[in-house]
Amino acid sequence: MKPEIQGFFDPATSTITYVVFERDGGACAVIDSVLDYDPKAGGTSTASADRVVDFIRQHGLKVEWLLETHAHADHLSAAPYLQEKIGGRIGIGSGIRTVQHAFSHVFARKGQHDGSQFGRLFEADEEFAIGALTARALHVPGHTPADMAYQIGDAVFVGDTLFMPDVGTARCDFPGGSASQLYQSIRRLLSLPAETRLFMCHDYPPAGRGPAWEVTVAEQRSANIHVRDGVTEADFVAMRNARDATLAMPVLILPAIQVNISAGQLPEAEENGVRYLKIPLNAF
């Protein structure tokens, strides 16, 4: 079963949004949508999401799912905007409850920590349908405790686990992250058949190549600079932890997390009609 796949690269956040579909006129899922956010102006825009809407309309697709691989720290989700425009249920891993709980103090967040903001919470290995396509939610913790990958036919949307072979792997230093868990999650993905198509959630291309997001299991096993075959868990954990100690927090982590743990819903407007994000001081 080979789904049709269209990727949309967002140069501002290096995120790839995917439309996965049966065929023109068939069912589809959107994975990891982006609401554009300019932190200097506090401005949102739907240019990236509208590219996805246009594609879906041009191809006559019926949106069944708006999937998130995890609560992203680098961009705001456009899932509620897409839902209003084109429908679909918002799905994420059930571990999002842990992430909501972990961040409830940081943001003095009222609301529920039961994941009820989302339309569907996937348990590990749970199967679901996208039209006639069978999809499976794989629990791949490490970057966050709640990360999921989505296996749809011969394709896997890996979320923040692997990056392209010349970039390596996702960081593991956010609350609840674990380099050891990420190693185990990645080995599980790399135990899939060699020809399995893997689709990255981000790409940070080194100088000299343009953005790319598709690679096979075989290519990752032979060439990934962090986790190719032969790299031991101990070596990986030492490398990952040392590297993470040098990384600054993502520019949008504070705006992104508070919105994304609420399934992309923006905060309610105050009496003056303006919505406000919260910036906790010294919380990280």
- Interface with Fe ion (CB under 5 A), residue total 2
Site for Fe ion in 70-99 (CB under 5 A): 72
- Sequential DSSP letters for 42-78: TEEE-HHHHHHHHHHHHTTPEEEEEE-SS--SSSB--
Minimum separation from the CB atom of position 70 to Fe ion (A): 6
Minimum separation from the CB atom of position 74 to Fe ion (A): 6
x/- letters, 181..210, toward Fe ion (CB under 5 A): ------------------------------
Which range binds Fe ion by CB under 5 A, 111-119, 154-162, 205-213, 239-247? 154-162
CA distance 164 to 200: 7
Minimum separation from the CB atom of position 61 to Fe ion (A): 26
| Interaction between residue 160 and Fe ion (CB under 5 A) | yes
Minimum separation from the CB atom of position 120 to Fe ion (A): 20
Dihedral sign of CA atoms 118, 120, 126, 132 in order: negative
Site for Fe ion in 220-279 (CB under 5 A): none
Minimum separation from the CB atom of position 185 to Fe ion (A): 13
Q: CB under 8 Å, gap of 24 or more: what pairs does 235-240 form?
A: 236/169, 236/179, 236/182, 236/183, 237/179, 237/180, 237/183, 240/169, 240/171, 240/172, 240/179, 240/182, 240/183
Choose among 54, 92, 67: nearest CA to 17.
Answer: 67
Nearer to Fe ion, 86 or 178 (CB): 178
Q: Which residues bind Fe ion (CB under 5 A)?
A: 72, 160
